[in-house]
């Protein structure tokens, strides 16, 4: 068996174990309600008006457990086109529709209800999140293998995944689009890097297509579209020949045209539902200065406290910059812009959130940073000792995931219901609770 097949089997094994433990096909917050409502409305009703979905899902299926204005008939907003307000990005909906259709087929074959509200529809649709979550790991491994050796790549993929918030958004809350967003960004960066030495006109168009899907999945993914453009600027300054410059500009123009065509789909949806193509996405008064920059990393809900593995990613990116300046610059610029932009955002914590969910878009970059750090470690210590170093970070994350199940109030950021000190104290009792959760999940108790 070659090393790739062996590594893929390892990824499958670890992914299945975590999925069996943590997968919960539920809609927990209003965002998930909006995404699923779009999926059902398109397939079953053939429209984009979600009034009936909001009523049915909120009042019957989840017994009023979902919080938010769309679940309250008195607070529900109607747009100028007469549609129920739905601010969800449309990209993830496209990824989920085939899985919803599979649930529809199963329901038809077994004479079940075909109304789009039964459990089989939710489970099959949320299973789509799992599929794209796994594909993210495969692409991540392949991306890392382009930069590091295969052993470092598989170790990095497993360690970062098991230590990060990505697990939560694949398994614990699969109704949100963050996992699919990470898949599109990883696909974009992988294809860009794979073709960086020589990119044909067709490959530029494909890159634009992937980029378009990436941008209609989450607004902030637009930032990553600049990666190939930074490469173009660098090439123009390097060559300084009119013929080469013209070819580079022509190809990048095709890239932008293709991505714009895909992005047009999101604008059409906005126009139909809201009667306009621009929305106030922030729903708040924001600052022109990144006043929350340090809170993003170090507050009670900060990413470093919740997923401390990223510290090693930052260190690794520093050393990667010293070795591969161009590559690292292409990746760091959108990452830094993301941090600064989020620092200007009043609700940077993201409402209910495992860590700071808006930072999940940086996952592929942080994978690469950790890969570099592990590569440096491998020159001094054995693979076994490298794994032992990172086991505490994996345990921390698994216990924190357990705590989020038992004490879901730790996810609430708006009202500061619980401090990090309390979360830390709760962690002490989580090993016992994790074992109990396992016994309950497998019907032992």
Question: How high is the pLDDT of residue 445?
Answer: 58
Ordered by start, the domain boundaries in the chain are 3-24+125-441
At 29 the pLDDT is 79
Per-residue confidence band for 3, with pLDDT thresholds at 50, 70 and 90:
confident
Q: What average pLDDT does the segment 344-360 reach?
A: 83
Q: Regarding predicted confidence, which is higher, 153 or 353?
A: 153
Mean pLDDT over 387-397 rounds to: 97
Mean pLDDT computed over 190-196: 97
Tell me, what's the pLDDT at 252?
93
Q: What is the pLDDT of residue 62?
A: 58
Hey, what are 400's tokens? 């924190």
Mean pLDDT of the region 6-31? 91
pLDDT at 131: 97
Q: Is 348 or 252 the better-scoring residue by pLDDT?
A: 252
Supply the pTM of this predicted model: 0.94
Partners of residue 352 on adjacent β-strands: 412
Residue 33 contacts residue 66 (beta carbons within 8 Å): yes
pLDDT of residue 355: 84
Q: pLDDT band at 66, cuts 50/70/90?
A: low
Q: Which of 341, 338, 344, 340 is nearest to 286 (CA)?
A: 344
pLDDT interval class at 31 (50, 70, 90): confident
The lowest-confidence range among 124-133, 184-193, 369-378, 414-423 is 414-423
The answer on pLDDT for 284 being more than 70 is: no
Backbone dihedral region of 324: left (phi > 0), alpha (psi from -120 to 50 degrees) or beta?
A: beta
What one-character DSSP code corresponds to residue 60? I
Question: Can you give the pLDDT at residue 356?
Answer: 86
Phi, psi of 318 (to 5 degrees): -60, -45
The CA-to-CA distance between both ends of the chain, in Å, stands at 40
Alpha helices by DSSP H, listed for 60-218, are 91-109, 119-147, 150-163, 166-167, 178-194, 201-215
Mean pLDDT across the stretch 208-214? 98
Of 399, 411, 402, 394, the closest CA to residue 440 belongs to 402
Which pLDDT value is given to residue 332? Answer: 97
User: What percent of the chain is predicted at pLDDT more than 90?
Assistant: 67
Is residue 392 over pLDDT 70? yes
Q: In the predicted model, is pLDDT for residue 213 greater than 60? A: yes
pLDDT at residue 240 greater than cutoff 60: yes
Rounded Cα–Cα distance for residues 398 and 423 (Å): 13
Quick check: 132 pLDDT over 90? yes
């Amino acid at each position: 068996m070659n090393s790739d097949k062996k590594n893929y089997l390892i990824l499958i094994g670890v992914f299945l174990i975590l999925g069996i433990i943590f997968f919960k096909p539920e809609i927990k917050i209003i965002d998930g309600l909006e995404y699923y409502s779009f999926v059902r409305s398109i397939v079953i009703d053939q429209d984009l008006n979600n009034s009936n979905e909001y009523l049915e899902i909120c009042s019957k299926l989840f017994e009023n457990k979902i919080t938010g204005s769309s679940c309250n008939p008195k607070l529900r907003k109607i747009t100028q086109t007469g549609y129920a307000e739905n601010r969800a990005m449309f990209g993830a909906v496209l990824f989920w529709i085939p899985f919803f259709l599979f649930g529809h087929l199963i329901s038809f074959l077994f004479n079940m209800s075909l109304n789009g509200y039964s459990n089989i529809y939710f489970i099959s649709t949320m299973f789509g999140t799992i599929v794209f979550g796994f594909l993210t790991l495969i692409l991540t491994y392949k991306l890392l293998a382009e930069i590091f050796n295969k052993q470092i790549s598989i170790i990095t993929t497993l360690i970062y995944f098991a230590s990060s918030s990505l697990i939560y958004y694949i398994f614990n809350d699969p109704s949100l689009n963050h996992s699919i967003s990470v898949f599109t960004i990883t696909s974009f960066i992988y294809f860009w890097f794979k073709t960086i030495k020589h990119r044909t006109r067709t490959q530029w168009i494909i890159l634009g297509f992937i980029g378009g899907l990436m941008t209609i999945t989450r607004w902030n993914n637009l930032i990553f579209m600049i990666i190939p453009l930074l490469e173009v600027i660098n090439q123009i300054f390097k060559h300084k020949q009119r013929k080469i410059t013209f070819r580079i500009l022509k190809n990048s123009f095709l890239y932008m045209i293709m991505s714009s065509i895909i992005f047009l789909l999101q604008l059409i949806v906005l126009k139909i539902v809201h009667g306009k193509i621009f929305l106030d996405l922030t729903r708040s008064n924001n600052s022109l200065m990144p006043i929350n920059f340090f809170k993003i990393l170090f507050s009670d809900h900060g990413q470093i406290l919740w997923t401390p593995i990223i510290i090693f990613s930052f260190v690794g990116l520093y050393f990667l910059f010293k070795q591969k300046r161009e590559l690292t610059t292409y990746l760091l610029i959108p990452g830094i812009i993301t941090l600064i932009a989020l620092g200007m955002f009043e609700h940077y914590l993201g409402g209910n959130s495992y860590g700071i969910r808006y930072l999940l878009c940086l996952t592929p970059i942080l994978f690469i940073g950790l890969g570099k750090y592990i590569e440096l470690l491998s020159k001094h210590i054995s693979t076994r000792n490298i794994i032992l170093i990172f086991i505490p970070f994996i345990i921390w994350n698994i216990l924190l995931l357990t705590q989020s199940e038992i004490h879901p109030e730790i996810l609430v950021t708006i009202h500061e219901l619980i401090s990090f000190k309390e979360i830390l104290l709760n962690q002490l009792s989580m090993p016992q609770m994790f074992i109990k959760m396992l016994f309950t999940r497998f019907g032992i108790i």
